[in-house]
Amino acid sequence: MEKRMDSAELGARLELATTLARQGGQCARTFFRDDRLDIRLKGPSDPVTAADLAVDRLIRAGIRKTFARDGILSEETGGDTADILWVIDPIDGTQNFSRGIARFAVSIAVCEAGKPVCGVVYDPIAEELFCARLGGGAFLNDVAVRTSAATTPQDALVEAGYSAKFGHGSYHAMTGRLLEAGFGVRQVGSAALGLAEVACGRIDGYCESHLESWDVAAASLLVSEAGGTISDFFGGDGLHRGGPIVAAASGLWERLSAAAELPRQAGAA
């Protein structure tokens, strides 16, 4: 049986994740609204920029220097399978970033045995750093946060993320069901920040038909540690295959899940 990290080992990784998220965010800011972006498309509505790659290099180098035996999985450069695995999205919200829209974040999580145990989401424009560790609560700039007290759709604002994997028809059907159920609905282009805002109670829920682990590893832990409820993304093979997600204030989760009509476990058909 693999040895599990103790509190000090976990704390050291969270401290490094926090440092690297801030450094990565400052790196991203140097490219923001700059002509050096070198925007390219990896797929439909899926750009990558010079900033994504620069932040990726910075974070990976920092991890390798301090925790050389840990694995790394990054959106931009792929990576390893390991019992202790860093899961990185150098810039979550690249579509926004590439258009000069100040709605993006650096996301860094550490997973152990396939599930997040600590994570950081950093918005370098707002200078807001969200962090959480398993069993230790969720924080925004060192102040503890909680999900909202919403219990009815009529009192709720939720974000419905768009996944190109399932296309416009599926998305329109989902948002239609949400609106018919009474939810207020928005879509602003960063799953990590959307989930972080669920954690601190700014919005009441988030749902999307498909995300990858680097989109949600850090932010899903924020939601659960802030007292919210989140679908079992990592219960199947969500770490490597991705899957759907529904996250909300606990008093609202069942209604949001029912309206979204998404599978409750990653990798489900």
CATH number at residue 39: 3.30.540.10
Is the pLDDT score of 37 beyond 70?
A: yes
Please tell me whether residues 135 and 11 are part of one structural domain: yes
Total residues belonging to the chain: 269
Is the pLDDT score of 269 beyond 80?
A: no
Please tell me whether residues 140 and 165 are part of one structural domain: no
Please tell me whether residues 34 and 134 are part of one structural domain: yes
The per-residue pLDDT for 268 is: 36
Please tell me whether residues 177 and 250 are part of one structural domain: yes
201 within domain boundaries: yes
The per-residue pLDDT for 57 is: 97
Contact 105, 128 (CB under 8 A): no
Please tell me whether residues 61 and 162 are part of one structural domain: no
Please tell me whether residues 26 and 123 are part of one structural domain: yes
Is the pLDDT score of 266 beyond 60?
A: no
Please tell me whether residues 140 and 157 are part of one structural domain: no
Question: Which range in 32-41, 150-159, 163-172 is most confidently predicted, on average pLDDT?
Answer: 150-159
CATH code: domain of residue 228: 3.40.190.80
Please tell me whether residues 41 and 123 are part of one structural domain: yes
- Of 113, 144, 175, the one marking the end of a domain is 144
Q: What is the pTM of this model?
A: 0.94
Over residues 5-14, the pLDDT tens digits come to 999 999 999 9
Mean of all residue pLDDT scores within the chain? 93
Task: State the total domains in the chain.
Answer: 2
36 within domain boundaries: yes
- Of 111, 144, 177, the one marking the end of a domain is 144
Q: Mapped to the 3 state alphabet, what secondary structure does 139-163 carry?
A: EECCEECCCCCCCCHHHCEEEECCC
123 within domain boundaries: yes
Tokens (6 digits) for 66: 């301090």
Q: Count CB-CB contacts under 10 A for residue 81.
A: 10
Over residues 154-168, the pLDDT tens digits come to 999 999 999 888 889
The per-residue pLDDT for 7 is: 94
Q: Which of 92-96, 209-213, 223-227, 235-239 has the lowest mean pLDDT?
A: 235-239
What's the rounded mean pLDDT across residues 175-187? Answer: 97
Burial of 208 (0-12, 13-18, 19+ CB in 10 A): buried
| CA nearest to 45, candidates 135, 165, 130 | 165
Is the pLDDT score of 115 beyond 90?
A: yes
Question: Domain range spanning residue 50?
Answer: 7-144
pLDDT-derived band at 78 (thresholds 50, 70, 90) equals confident
Please tell me whether residues 159 and 119 are part of one structural domain: no
Q: How far apart are CA 71 and CA 86, in angstroms?
A: 6
Please tell me whether residues 139 and 17 are part of one structural domain: yes
269 within domain boundaries: no
73 within domain boundaries: yes
The per-residue pLDDT for 164 is: 85
Q: 231 or 265: whose pLDDT is higher?
A: 231
Please tell me whether residues 90 and 170 are part of one structural domain: no
Residues with Cβ within 8 Å of 71's Cβ and at least 6 positions away in sequence, in order, are: 79, 80, 81, 82, 83, 84, 85, 86
249 within domain boundaries: yes
72 within domain boundaries: yes
Q: How far apart are CA 134 and CA 230, in angstroms?
A: 14
Please tell me whether residues 229 and 179 are part of one structural domain: yes
- Apex CA 48: angle with CA 120 and CA 231, to 5°? 45
- Of 144, 161, 191, the one marking the end of a domain is 144
265 within domain boundaries: no
The per-residue pLDDT for 235 is: 86
The per-residue pLDDT for 2 is: 58
